[in-house]
Structure 1
């Protein structure tokens, strides 16, 4: 059986891509990598990872993921800053989903910043 592809759309196996971030064996090197790993966390139902990677100033006390939403694709539309040496960055994306027989998408420009050297999701519009 072929390894499961990562939901984030890189084409890599999940275990070699976002799976390494989710299990803590790697950390996101860029804002885009963190955004992709957060999308994958929604896709695989990993609320703990989402909370861990949320900026402390905007993080909710808890997070309840809807098990009836199936995330079906991610398109990164633009990035600004957020590179290896940057302290902040933005990533614009569209995430597609299926829910209760219908389909839709979420379009967002997410802001990321570093906290103690690690990328964190700050907020999005």
Structure 2
């Protein structure tokens, strides 16, 4: 049975973020990287998050919150190196959302997450 990708693209995981989550997978656009990073949060793949974070802003470690369940990603706007999104989640105390404008950089034929600002 094929599961849908957590990024809510409507595609199967294997045809969407799965290849990008693979250790040597690379996103071809900033939006594709954003979607793969959301999926990494949803499936608990901290290694992918660190690997795709630009070295100039990347933390040395990353702890994911096991109590947060990421439910849906809505991409509101994309530009070549910018993605505005709303990510919906559920925690024990209730539902919430993260509205952010994220910046990306393309170096050495790879996209990296640079930083984000909450909206």
Q: Same fold (TM over 0.5)?
A: yes
Q: Does 1:98 align with 2:90?
A: yes
2:102 aligned to which of 81, 101, 110? 110
Task: Give the unaligned 5+ runs of structure 1.
Answer: 83-88
Cα pair 1:55 1:115 within 8 Å, conserved: no
Structure 1 runs, 4 residues or longer, greater than 4 Å off: none
TM-score (norm 2): 0.94
**Is the Cα contact below 8 Å between 2:23 and 2:48 reproduced in 1?**
no
Deviations 1:67-91 (A, max 9, x none): 11000000000011x2xxxxxx100
Using the TM superposition, give the Cα deviation of residue 25 of structure 1 relative to its aligned residue in structure 2, in angstroms: 5.6
Partner of 2:26: 27
The residue number in structure 1 matching 2:61 is 62
CA RMSD of aligned residues (A): 1.0
Q: Confirm whether residue 40 of structure 1 aligns to residue 32 of structure 2.
A: no
Within 5 A, what are the aligned runs for 1:114-125? Answer: 114-125=106-117
CA distance 1:34–1:69, shift in 2 (3 Å) = same
> When the two structures are aligned, how many residues end up with a matched partner?
117
Deviations 1:73-114 (CA, angstroms, capped at 9, x unpaired): 00000011x2xxxxxx10000000000140000000000001
